Each structure stands twice: as structure tokens, then as C-alpha cells.
Structure 1
Amino acid sequence: MRSEYDEKKFNFVKASKPFFTFSIAITLLGIIFLSVFGLNYGIDFRSGTSVDISVSKPVDKAAVEQFLKTHEFGEYSLTTSPNRLSIRFKDALKDTQEKQLKADFTKQFDDKASFEVNIVDADIAREQQRNAIVGMAVASVGIILYITIRFEWRFAIAAVVALLHDAFIVISLFSIFRWQVNLPFIVAVLTIIGYSTNDTVVIFDRIRENLRFAKLKTPADVAMLVNRSIWQTLTRSINTVITVLLAAVALFIFGSESIRMFSLAMILGLVSGAYSSIFIASPLWLLLRGKSVPKKAAKPQSAT
């Protein structure tokens, strides 16, 4: 099973222990931050009002801060960019407050400003949180069933651990850096789960094909088969990730403020998905499989 060619290649399986340790450490760190600080929910998951203002000329942030304090709209957060301001109010604005905000802002700062206002009450926020959790749970269960039917239960467990790893890494980073979590973020996480599963299934499919024709005598032969399968699909996995990553980076740099967190979550998830498919999923399948070697089917005895 082994060859001089295999020995010259980087052995992903042999080096899997440090990668497992790194992933476990990141996971534990994420659990600590999520337990202590939680997530920085956006307007989609908590009651309040978001106001996104597109301006035709630069506006001084300090002046806008003073404007909001003067009007006493309640607790808020303000982020600015050259052509856009995003204001998040903790409480839902009344119709009169919304109209006053628009009228006074255009009068004081920019008469060509355009406004995008979203108001979410507490009941809708709780329902959207619940639907987001249910959506991710349903996606995970569907993937488990699909891979179990197509492959076997060990492949399914390894794939689900890898995709949960990717989703949790992204969620943990958003908690650590206090980036805002909104509905586009949930869409990004579900998309990440899909890409992670796709990359993992490609490697698993190659492992299964190689198992059919390989002559395996020892557990080391099985490990080498897994390593060879990863190498055979590595170029395809990297090219796929880079292609999508370029699009996600372009959206993050040139896209609007409303999809920036979506793009950031996609970038982090794509990198994590490529990492987990190669360094986590396949070595984990090998670990679950143990030291057994496939037994050849017994040859039928000829009749005498």
C-alpha cells in the first residue's frame, strides 16, 4: 500500500493530533466567551429599531451623536462610513419619532439623504431566534441522514462534527469580537454548513472508492489510504474555496453595510470549512473506525 511517493507527501493523518488539540482549544475558548458575554444580537433578534441612512456627502460623526442626544430617542449605537450611517435604537421608535428623525436629519445634514428603517418588536425577535435554531438543527439532521444512507454512520458522525465545528468557530469569533449577529449571519452559517459538507463528502467519496480497490493489511495501510485520498482531492477543495472566498472578500470590501457581517461570516466559515474537511473530518473517521482492516469477502468453494 505504501510507496516512496506517499512518504514524500505531508501526512495529514499523522499530524492530526495537533490539529485536534487546536480545534478543541478554540472550541473551549468559544464556550467561555459565549457563556460570559453571549452574542451581540442585532435588530433582527431583539426588539428595537435600525435606521440605515445613505448620504450624498460626508457627515461628521460627532455632530450626528449630538443630534441624537438632543432629540432623546433613547439608547442607541452609531456606526459610520463615508456614504452611510447605521443607527441601532434599543427601543422601537414611534411613528412620530421616526418622522421627526427623518425631517430633522435631512434639514440639518443632507437634504438628499435616503432612509431604510426596520422595526422589530420583542415577540418577533424571539420567534426569529427560535426559527434560526430550528433551521440549523433541521439542516444538521438532514445531513446526518443523507451521509448515513450514502456512506455509513462513522462518516456521518465525522461530517457532522466537522460542520458543527465550522459553525461554532464562526459563532465564537462573533462573540469574542462582539460583531453583530443578524438574519444574514444565520444565512451565512447555513451556507457554511453546506460548503463544509460538500468538501467533506468529496473526500469521503474518494476514501470509499479507494477502499474498494486497495489491498489493506494493517491499520497503517488504512491511514495511508486516507492520507492519499485527501491529497487526491486537495487541489479541487482549495480551488473551490478560493473561488468562493474571492467573491466573499469582494462583497465584504465593496458591498453595502447591510451585508458586511454576512460576508465576514462567509469568509471565516470558508476558511474553517476547508480546514475541518482536511484536518478534522477524515482523521476523525479513521479514529472512529479504530484499528480494524476490511476483510475480503470469502471466495465461494467449488462443488466437488
Structure 2
Amino acid sequence: MSKLGNLGHRLHRGEISYDFVGRRKYWYGLSILITVAAIVGLAVNGLKQGIEFSGGAVFTTPKTSISVSDAQDRISGHTGGHNATIQKLGNGNLRIQISEISTDTSKQVQQEIAKDLGMTSSKIDAEIVGPSWGKEISQKALEGLIIFLVLVVAYLAIAFEWRMAVAALVALLHDLTITTGVYAIVGFEVTPGTVIGLLTILGYSLYDTVVVFDGLKEATKDITKQNRHTYSELANRSLNGTLVRSINTTVVALLPVGALLFIGGGILGAGMLNDIALALFVGLTAGAYSSIFIATPLVADLKEREPQMKALRKRVQARRAADTAKAAEAAARGETEGEDADRGEEDGPAAPAAAGVVGPRAQGPASASSTGARPARNQPASRGNRGRGRPSGKRR
């Protein structure tokens, strides 16, 4: 954990970073691949609607030792011509769900199921949902989702800017598509708990995205007044600064949701928990991914299309080219000075005058080294011939 905390501090200070924005084409390709797979699964399998949306009946038996497969065989052909979904609950009860049957038919089916399972009809609890009520719930859920998305876009456009609002909307639709696709592939029923889970994960996804956008807005304030970094570079730095925070938030949220899904729904047999738990688990994971790999890179793409950002990129590139040229010139100058110094060391100190060659200041008696006498002082040259022959050489 200490290493993870140290990594987070280094990412926040900009000492290390990963180029998420620069490699955005890879993330776009991966997201498109996952989204296409989800859409294909949705088109092939379709969503399995619960009785709350399609209408039907749910029969709950008392505690019994009859297995799911055995119960399926016993009631086969006595479900009013519709498929029955049977679950074994944690307390030993059986939950039998039959969609799209009317109220009159459900009463007859209840009596036949009780007879097949060797129970009295009064001990089987029946919950009847009409199809009109299910359609009304579906319509209200869709209206609530549309209102939520509109309010989100309006808020982000006012608090930040329209480009960030567009990026956040794309990320939210990305999360919704993946979650519904997983639901279709796995075959879980869509219930009101599923709708609640979807709205919840949209809030989590939006939270991560807003955290990243807030840091991006602060980092790019007065960006056109400098010529050191482009918008994409500052966006990537801001994303790295909040990376560990987003990961920690997602992991902490996934732990209880995972327990709800795998322990509550899988081990304890609380099948009704699977609906909301699966939506939360898939949605939280997709939301964390989209806030890092989709939202911020998409904002950088949209901002880089602006004339001001294009001009800023040109200035940054020009400055870096000038700095590179100066560095190369300084390196070349240093190499030249180093070669001159090396050449001087190879030549050695200046050689003494050759024997027999006398310089202008070396004329006169032999040097002290050859005669042992004290060397004569060099007198300055006389001005003219007026003092010649006089002892002191001075003018009278």
C-alpha cells in the first residue's frame, strides 16, 4: 500500500506519467470493440424483461427439497404456454416466474403447479403483475433516464464547457451500452432493481469524470499565455494526477458490490440481489474505464481542433525546435573547445629557441648560463646620437 501511495504522489507531482491522451486511438479502438460486442449480444439474445415490465406472475413455494431441474420437469406443460424461470432461494423456497400471462390464467397455473409439486394451492404465494402496469413502469424508467442525461449535459456545459459535456455524455452512453449488453449476454432479468443500478452507476461514472474535468479545468487555465505545453499534454498530466484517486474510489466501491453479487446472489441464493448487483458491478468498472480512457482523451481531441489550440501547438513546436537547435549548437561548441584543448595538450609547451639563433632582445654578451657572469640589464634604446660619447648619456 505504501508503494501505491508513493506512486500516487509521484503521478500527482508529475514525476512519472503514462501517455493516456497520446495513445487515445488504442483506447478508442478497444472501446469500439467492446461496444460492438455488447450491441451484438443485445441484438442476438435481447433483454429478458422481468414481470414488472412484461407482466406475469411470480409463485413462491414454501421450503422444499425439490431441486430446480426436478421442479422444471414437473411443471412443464402446465405454465399456460409460457416459459417458466425457477430459482432456488436461500431459505429453500422455490421462486417460479412466468411472464406475460393474464390474471385469470395465473390462478389456473397456480393450482396446477401446487398439484405438480405436491403442495396445497393456499401455501403458494402468488404475485400478479398486469402488462399495462409493466409498460407504464418501462415508460417512466425511460423518461427518467432521458431527463437525467439532459440535466447532466446542461450542468456540465454550464460548469465547464460544451466539449466536456459532450465527452461526458459519450462516456455515459458507453457505460450504458456495455452494461445492457452484459445483461443480454448473461441472461439476467431486467427488473426495477436493474434500473436503479443503472442510474446509480451513471452517478458514479459522472463523479469520476467530473473529478478529472475539474483538475483539467484548473490545469488549463490561461493556457494560451504560455508556450511550453499543448492542451493534450496538460490534459494527460491532469489525468495522471487523479489516476490513483479514481482507481481507489472504484475499488472501494466494487468491494461491497462484489460481495452483494457473488456472496449474496451466488452463495446465499438471494436471486433478487443479482439484478442490481450485476448492474452496479459492470457499470462501476465501465465507468472507471470511460472516465480515464474515453472522456479526457475525447475532450483533448475536441479542444485541439480550436484555432487557438492549433496556434498554441505551433508555438510549442517552434520553441522546442529552437531549444533543440540551441542545445545542439552548445554541444557542438563544447566539442570544438574540447578538441582544441586536447590538441594543445598533444603539442606540449613551446620549444626553446634553436641554437645559434639570436632574437632582438638576446643580442650582446653570452648568457649567464654559459659564462657564469651576471646577465647584463637591458637598457632602453637612446633617443638619437646627442648623448653619444658622454659618460652619463645625459644632455647638458
TM-score by length of 2: 0.65
Residues 173/70 of structure 1: CA separation in 2 closer, same or farther (3 Å cut):
closer
Residues 20/98 of structure 1: CA separation in 2 closer, same or farther (3 Å cut):
same
Report if the CA contact (8 A) 1:163-1:197 is conserved. Answer: yes
Question: Which residue does 2:217 correspond to in 1?
Answer: 208
1:279 aligns with 2:293: yes
1:77 aligns with 2:84: yes
Quote the Cα distance in structure 2 between the aligned partners of 1:192 and 1:272: 9
Identity, in percent, stands at: 33
Report if the CA contact (8 A) 1:46-1:126 is conserved. Answer: yes
Residues 169/52 of structure 1: CA separation in 2 closer, same or farther (3 Å cut):
farther
Shift of 1:227: 1.3
Quote the Cα distance in structure 2 between the aligned partners of 1:263 and 1:133: 20
Question: Which residue does 2:66 correspond to in 1?
Answer: 59
1:97 aligns with 2:108: yes
Question: Which residue does 1:290 correspond to in 2?
Answer: 304
Q: Which runs of 5+ in 1 are unaligned?
A: 297-304
Tell me which amino acid in the other structure corresponds to 1:279. Answer: F
Residues 240/110 of structure 1: CA separation in 2 closer, same or farther (3 Å cut):
farther
1:108 aligns with 2:118: yes
Quote the Cα distance in structure 1 between the aligned partners of 2:180 and 2:32: 15
Question: Which residue does 2:21 correspond to in 1?
Answer: 13
Quote the Cα distance in structure 1 between the aligned partners of 2:310 and 2:38: 38
Of residues 149-158 and 8-17 in structure 1, the stretch that sits farther from structure 2 once superposed is 8-17
Question: Which residue does 1:302 correspond to in 2?
Answer: none
- After superposition, residues 177-196 of structure 1 pair within 5 angstroms as 177-196=186-205
1:147 aligns with 2:156: yes
Task: Give per-residue Cα distances to partners, 1:211-260, cap 9 Å, x unaligned.
Answer: 22666426x53222111111211122112111111111111122521121
The count of residues paired between Structure 1 and Structure 2 equals 289
Shift of 1:281: 0.2
Task: Give per-residue Cα distances to partners, 1:119-138, cap 9 Å, x unaligned.
Answer: 22221122122111111111
Report if the CA contact (8 A) 1:158-1:282 is conserved. Answer: yes
Out of 219, 233, 251, which is 1:242 matched to?
251
Quote the Cα distance in structure 1 between the aligned partners of 2:84 and 2:200: 29
Shift of 1:71: 4.7
Tell me which amino acid in the other structure corresponds to 2:143. Answer: V
Shift of 1:160: 0.8
Out of 251, 254, 259, which is 2:264 matched to?
254
Question: Which residue does 1:197 correspond to in 2?
Answer: 206
Greater RCO, CA 8 A, separation 6+: 1
Quote the Cα distance in structure 1 between the aligned partners of 2:168 and 2:113: 50
Shift of 1:153: 0.4
Query: Alignment partner of 1:119: what SS?
Result: strand
Question: Which residue does 1:300 correspond to in 2?
Answer: none
Query: Alignment partner of 2:230: what SS?
Result: helix
Task: Give per-residue Cα distances to partners, 1:134-156, cap 9 Å, x unaligned.
Answer: 11111000000111110110110
Residues 70/25 of structure 1: CA separation in 2 closer, same or farther (3 Å cut):
closer
